[in-house]
Structure 1
Amino acid sequence: MTESLNFLNTLPLFLVYDNVPDAYNSHRFAPFALTDALIKEAGEKKQPILHFWTTSPYVILGMMDTKLPFLTDALRIFSSYGYPYLVRNSGGLAVVSDEGVLNFSMIFPEGDERMPINEGYERMHHIIKTAFKDFDAHIDAYEIPDSYCPGDYDLSIDGKKIAGIAQRRLKGGIAIMIYLSVSGDQQKRAEMIRTFYDIGLKEKETKWNFPAVHSEVMTTLEEALSHPFTVDDVKERLASVFTDASVELADGPFPPSIQSSYAEGLEKMIKRNEKMLPQSTFRAEG
């Protein structure tokens, strides 16, 4: 095991949540409500967790996106592309999710000593680099400013962004989350978000900074590595990083504590979105 993966030495078992039951998968907000439930579960049970998920096509907005001066006009662009949308319960800006994008979270329990923010990002960076170490390519971590949802730990190959990393911390636990553009039309994804900001701003100055999204600075793992990948291929590679480090992976259960936290998180997401997107309705789903 490389020194960068030493954190796995003290974590002999991760529970894995993948292909979850329909009860946790039937609403567009489900992955976010489940993530919060799993963070709480990790903290209460002192148990690290891995969470994999994909979605049908939709746009995941950050709360800052709702500050666009012409938001209502901008949201209409997503309908023309056939992408529903939602506002997630964490920071950042808009990203695109569909069947070619893998979302993956490492969730750790925390005690009085909190994990430094950069350490969480570094852990994810090292996991991704190790998963693709058999390719002759460097996966770098630095901001790609003209990508959508730019951040200090954007992951890129040859200067083109393939992934973005975020964190969410609740009492007792922390999730380090990544979206990986595995396959699909990344140019279309980027152009959709660029048009969203163009219409949402209409060249009006605001106190918030929104990226000038350029599709040429983003790509997929398939394109960057010149190799065909499915989302399942990438999940297997990620899981192998843990098992190769002698970490046991076991399917995660759904005890009453998760059921209760999930229901609570789903209700919070519905209320948040109805408040931020008042012309939309979300209760009919699921």
Structure 2
Amino acid sequence: MTGRIPSPFYIQNSSENKLVGDILFPFAYDELMCHKAGEGSQPFVHIWRHDKAIVLGLRDRRLPNIDWAMEWLRMHGYAVGVRNSGGAAVSLDPGVVNVSIVMPNPSGRLEFKEDFELMYALIRESFAKLGLDAAKGEVAGSYCPGEYDISVGGRKLCGISQRRQTKAFIVNAFINVEGHAYRRGELVRNFYEVATGGNMELDVPKVEPETMATLAELGGPGVTVRTFVQALVGTLESWGGTVGRHPDKPSMQELERMVATLRSRYDRSGGSEEE
């Protein structure tokens, strides 16, 4: 399975129209599609962007001043939510492309590294189409650090997290394509200063903004959100994917209920990363 998504699968590219408002809607969408995949629906890849948001990890929700820090972000115009997957705080804006792979796992196997390798293979092949050589491995000083940080020239462009259900799973990635990576790093660092009450000895990422970069910065002026998404979709099509909305897509009522569930379960009291 490593490096490929079982065909046939659907590629839903929503990146042309960036999302606004509640940041939990795309996570609710993927959560519902994951339930459906566990019941036999075809695999699904979701590509999307958001206008202005901060997505927190479950570990962030447990920081001593987190309620004030979340309110501080909202006062500065950011949509704020806690995702139901691993990792830590991530800054989203129109220059960041988000990718979710939703796949069934009927045997219930816990192949964490295989699942991360799948996303890494997708990003690596897509970067190669733009003339960039992607490496994996934690980048010290980056935000949302992890073993599967994806970097070019030692600077992080992409982070990966995972959400598992009983019979299916989701692998998420954010890719800094355009915009100001340094400013995103400063924002996340400032968030942690507020959330910890200035006690940076707590178990939080020690963010050094200069460790982050964008594809446009490292790949030259020809690299944009559009050209990256074209490369990404091209890779997925070569793997057997079909562009279009999944026939089992959830209704708005289902989405609204799931958003409320995610907020009550994770925004207020943390929770489990698996079901």
TM over 0.5: yes
Residue matched to 2:152: 157
Shift of the alpha carbon at 1:35?
0.7
- Is the partner of 2:146 in helix, strand or coil? coil
1:182-201 to 2 correspondences below 5 Å: 182-201=177-196
Cα 1:136–1:257 shift into 2, 3 Å? closer
Aligned twin of 1:282 = none
CA contact (8 A) 1:37 1:258 kept: no
1:220 aligned residue: 214
In the alignment, is the contact (CA less than 8 A) between 1:13 and 1:250 conserved in 2? no
Tell me the residue number matched to 1:283: none
Question: In the alignment, which of 222, 229, 238 is matched to residue 244 of structure 1?
Answer: 238
Aligned to 1:231: 225
CA distance in structure 2 between the aligned counterparts of 1:256 and 1:81, rounded to whole angstroms: 33
Shift in Å, 1:253 = 3.7
1:148 to 143, 147, 151: 143
RMSD of aligned C-alpha atoms? 2.8
Q: Which amino acid aligns with 1:44?
A: E
Distance (Å, rounded) in 2 between the aligned partners of 1:222 and 1:63: 30
Q: Which residue pairs with 2:273 in the alignment? A: none
Structure 1 stretch 35-44 or stretch 250-259: which is displaced more? 250-259
Q: 1:274 to 1:176 in 2, by over 3 A?
A: closer
Structure 1 residue 233, shift from structure 2 partner: 2.2
Instruction: Give the Cα–Cα distance (whole angstroms) in 2 for the partners of residues 25 and 205 of structure 1.
Output: 32
- Which ranges of structure 2 fall in alignment gaps of 5 or more residues? 271-275
The correspondence for 1:265, drawn from 258, 263, 270, is 258
Aligned to 2:133: 138
Task: Give CA deviations for 1:213-232 in whole Å, capped at 9, x if unaligned.
Answer: 10110011111212343323
In the alignment, the residues of structure 1 paired with residue 85 and residue 2 of structure 2 have an alpha-carbon distance, to the nearest angstrom, of 27
- Taking the aligned partners of 2:165 and 2:147, their CA distance within structure 1 comes to 22
CA distance in structure 1 between the partners assigned to 2:231 and 2:131 by the alignment: 16
Q: Secondary structure at the match of 1:16?
A: strand
Change (3 A) 1:31 1:101: same
Q: What's the TM-score once normalised by structure 2's chain length? A: 0.86
Structure 1 gap segments, 5+ residues each: 278-286
Give yes or no for contact 2:82–2:263 (8 Å, CA) kept in 1: no
More helix by share: 1
Aligned residue identity for 2:127: F
Distance 1:230 1:276, change over 3 A: farther
Give the match's secondary structure for 1:111: coil
Using the aligned pairs only, state the percent identity. 27
Measured in 1, the distance between the counterparts of 2:66 and 2:40 equals 41
Work out the number of aligned pairs and report it. Answer: 268
Report the Cα distance in structure 1 between the residues aligned to 2:200 and 2:230, rounded to whole angstroms: 45
Contact 1:81 1:192 in 2 (8 A): no
Q: In the aligned structure 2, how far is the partner of 1:165 from the partner of 1:62?
A: 12
Q: Shift in Å at residue 73 of structure 1?
A: 4.2
Asked if 1 retains the 8 angstrom alpha-carbon contact of 2:9 and 2:241, the reply is: yes
Alpha carbons of structure 1 residues 191 and 27: separation in structure 2 relative to 1, 3 Å: closer
Query: Could you state the TM-score of these two structures normalised by the residue count of structure 1?
Result: 0.83
